A and B are shown apart, each in its own frame.
Chain A
């Protein structure tokens, strides 16, 4: 029994790390502009699919080159989304902007479907597929890549927002756009940077997890929803909350799948999300807002 639980926990942390990264992407754009970007899942898909496409065939690039290129491509897509879909709607309400992001996600998925079709694609593992024994549980080397990569990215993002002027300037844009203008911050560039960063995080999540879960044109839908749940669970706009929310969601799903039924794992994850929203609408780690006029 204990071995089984250990196995579920390892799986849960792996999946949860992916959710955490997607959730972090949600939090970054939310923090910069109060917008929930429902194309976040599509960033994950574009990252993974581009990496697959770039490594494929006889002329394929080495995996690490393809991964870097795929992240850059996704960043460009994210910035283009901001520049050509979000920015022209400047002045529109937040709800309108959110609906634009939903439209954009359908558009991006459609393009992916046209380019790559409906097949499920694998990406080679970074360092082999020989399972590693931990007690009586096993873990794939790729899972370690997912966990390690996620941890690194999370700490990187944390450092960026708490200790760099650029990071703080992005936060300033969301807490008070007019004041951000008035201290000389170029708000449109900051939003572009925020979308680029979110897209990069999404792409990296997609590339890290693709060797385990495979990828297809529509993997972004579920991952986007899970990442959104993670961000809500942790408290929207709290990046570390989103990470904790993602890990928690991954663990809950994995335990639910193992101990109850794998058919219900998504349902149980969402039920817990609903419960949190009922009893703690600001999320598990959401802080009460401090505002004084």
Chain B
């Protein structure tokens, strides 16, 4: 069936040894959308993103990105195709400088020096603290600054689709709000985003559409506003 979705996932399953972590996941992200995937700890959110980036192998199913099947494509080629992934826990290159982390973010774009220089400037404008600390080892930054660095690093890969894993993890509420404001802003500037979050309220608050993931299964999918108003969702994830 032809579809103009940027990302289309059907029947995706994944395992850790004998344990099945993802059950027949189906989801779609359309160009320009901000889609949130919410769910409790251990629901399989991170596994889902890892499987999309193919740093975790899918057992079966299909991932189609931009018209191309990428289910078994090597991770570095998936980045080249335009999926940039901001992993859970930031995963910055701790001993390397902030500047070098950004440089490595542009690894797939390294031939395009002019664009990289421009984009790096844009990221320093978006996150001035990164410019201030650009010569420091990334491992010495605070959690929030590392999140900004991880986002900047991914943006330098020139994403058509940004996979964002749990950006609020371990951050103070004020910082969470700041990070989500930036995510919203990036989306308004045209970056398509799949955001995976435990903080359902904040995530659905900025998203267009949402999916609810429970023990490796998509159990609900609707507009973000509908999900926010849904009683079951409120009970399970919003603490009402």
Contact = CB atoms under 8 A, between A and B. Distances in A.
Contacts of A290: 94-95, 137, 139-140
A172 B92 CA distance: 9
Nearest to B100: A168
B93 A179 contact: yes
Interface stretch (A11-19, A65-73, A98-106, A181-189): A181-189
Interface string B65-80: 0000000001110011
B44 interface: no
A169 B55 contact: no
Majority-rule SS of B interface residues: mixed
B107 to A, nearest CB: 5
Contacts of B96: 168, 171-172, 175
Majority-rule SS of A interface residues: helix
Nearest to A290: B139
A171 B84 CA distance: 20
Nearest to A178: B55
Nearest to B97: A168
Given A175-B93, A176-B93, A182 B104 contact: no
Interface string A159-184: 00000010011011001101111111
A181 B76 contact: yes
B74 to A, nearest CB: 7
B184 to A, nearest CB: 23
Given A168-B100, A168-B103, A169-B104, A182 B89 contact: no
Contacts of A187: 76
A290 B85 CA distance: 24
A183 B106 CA distance: 7
Contacts of A119: none
B79 to A, nearest CB: 3
B107 A184 contact: yes
A289 B96 CA distance: 12
B157 A183 contact: yes
A66 B235 CA distance: 76
Contacts of B76: 181, 184-187
Which 9 pairs, one residue from A and one from B, show the smallest C-beta to C-beta distance?
Answer: A184-B79, A184-B108, A290-B139, A181-B75, A179-B91, A186-B76, A182-B85, A184-B76, A175-B93
Given A181-B55, A182-B55, 9 more contacts: A168-B103, A169-B104, A175-B93, A182-B87, A182-B154, A184-B157, A186-B76, A187-B76, A290-B94
Interface of A: 165, 168-169, 171-172, 175-176, 178-187, 289-293
